[in-house]
Structure 1
Amino acid sequence: MVRKRREWYPGATYHIMSRGIRKLPIFYDDEDRKVYLKQMLKVRERYPFKLHCYCLMTNHIHLLLETDQFPPSDIIRLLHTRYAIYFNHRHQLSGHVFQGRFAAKLIDSLTYFLEASRYIHRNPMEAGMAEKAQDFLWSSYIAYFDTSVLPFITTEKTLSYFESPSAKNYQLFVEMERSDE
């Protein structure tokens, strides 16, 4: 059966999610996460994209990724293939690392863009892995307050939607409890 092609156009932004097969971990330790990020940067050299935010949980990932000249399928296929080869070799495993096709939700509004960013950065708090978003080491949240930490994260677009001081207002937006949750 042929899969339905995802909608794509240059400049499209997606909330990308991918889970470990059978919900198993895709990161056993910090070294695995470091390699995933290094591979992402290598893939970006071949398939340029903007990364607005990310979160590397134990058994899944979230990316808020804006494409340039290539669809997300090219980017994620290469990234996850390279990472799976590394992961299986390092941990003496074989077979699939990621469960099925990654999810890519097209960001079609400013509200969705900001809510996806918020959701991604709140994910460790919601999962009980961190008390505050900045406590979780494996997300891009810190880049919104110190751009020298993760210079490959594009924070300008997100922060441009918040009044000055934009970083502080973004922090309030991410960390405030919502009554509809």
Structure 2
Amino acid sequence: MESGQSYHIYNHANGSENIFREEENYRFFLQQYDKYLGGVVDTYAYCLIPNHFHLLVGVKDSLDLPGFQNLAGLDKSIAKASEFPITKAFSNFFNSYTKAFNKRYQRKGSLFIKNFKRKPILTESQWQDTFLYIHLNPIKHDFAKELKDWKWSSWKAYQTMEKRSLLNRDFYFNFFDGLDHQNEMIELKKESLINKNFE
């Protein structure tokens, strides 16, 4: 994962389990996500459903990690090491959530599939499609009939831009001209995105 690069990140529960069993799980997941990754990535979109999640993020140029210095001015060989703290931050996040989940439900072992998926976003259309796909995920998996009906995604944050959010919503305007453009595109993309085979 490279500084300044956007990624579609997703992961699934290990086996047939759910990673979210009750509302408090969703809240805790987002709390820990901000704690471990808020200084590492800008988050543009997310969706959490019972057995998996999707994120659209951009790796920050300046990483805010304990004991980790800003990469500005370092030579290329050192800068390449930036992969480690980013991956480590994700690992710490998953471990933190898993430990709390295991304690809460008296279970043992891994909760997530070991290696989370990360797809670099290379084009404007790919960013748009990923943003829309992530928000359409609850409909794809029959957890909601309408986007507004699913509580655990970033969709509502984009419908109420006047409200404070931890999302980086400014970046969104590089790809959409506002809500009307976004809503037009979601109707155009809805069927094709729902039928895509993402994990």
> Normalising by the residue count of structure 2, what TM-score does the alignment of the two structures yield?
0.79
Q: How many residues align?
A: 171
Counterparts of 1:178 and 1:27, CA distance in 2: 25
Secondary structure at the aligned position of 2:54 is classed as strand
2:170 to 148, 153, 156: 156
User: What CA RMSD, in Å, does the superposition of the two structures yield over aligned residues?
Assistant: 1.8
Shift of 1:74: 2.5
Amino acid at match of 2:156: I
Counterparts of 1:145 and 1:64, CA distance in 2: 17
Alignment-derived partner of residue 51 in structure 1: 43
Change in 2 beyond 3 A, CA 1:152/1:123: same
Give per-residue Cα distances to partners, 1:47-102, cap 9 Å, x unaligned: 43100000001000100011113544233211111100110011111100001210
Counterparts of 2:134 and 2:166, CA distance in 1: 17
1:82 and 2:129 aligned: no
Q: Is the 8 A contact 2:45 2:57 kept in 1?
A: yes
Percent sequence identity over matched residues?
Answer: 25
Alignment-derived partner of residue 70 in structure 2: none
Shift of 1:161: 2.5
Q: Note the residue ranges of structure 1 that are not aligned, 5 or more in a row.
A: 1-7
Secondary structure at the aligned position of 1:26 is classed as coil
Alignment-derived partner of residue 60 in structure 1: 52
Alignment-derived partner of residue 24 in structure 2: 31
Q: Note the residue ranges of structure 2 that are not aligned, 5 or more in a row.
A: 64-81
> Normalising by the residue count of structure 1, what TM-score does the alignment of the two structures yield?
0.86
Q: Is the 8 A contact 1:18 1:61 kept in 2?
A: yes
Amino acid at match of 1:105: K
Q: Is the 8 A contact 1:133 1:175 kept in 2?
A: no
Change in 2 beyond 3 A, CA 1:24/1:95: same
Alignment-derived partner of residue 4 in structure 1: none
1:169 and 2:161 aligned: no
Change in 2 beyond 3 A, CA 1:29/1:175: farther
Give per-residue Cα distances to partners, 1:17-60, cap 9 Å, x unaligned: 10000131000011000000000111135x43100000001000
Shift of 1:149: 5.2
Secondary structure at the aligned position of 2:15 is classed as helix
Change in 2 beyond 3 A, CA 1:117/1:179: closer
Shift of 1:171: 2.4
Alignment-derived partner of residue 5 in structure 2: 12
Change in 2 beyond 3 A, CA 1:176/1:150: farther
Amino acid at match of 1:173: M
Alignment-derived partner of residue 3 in structure 1: none
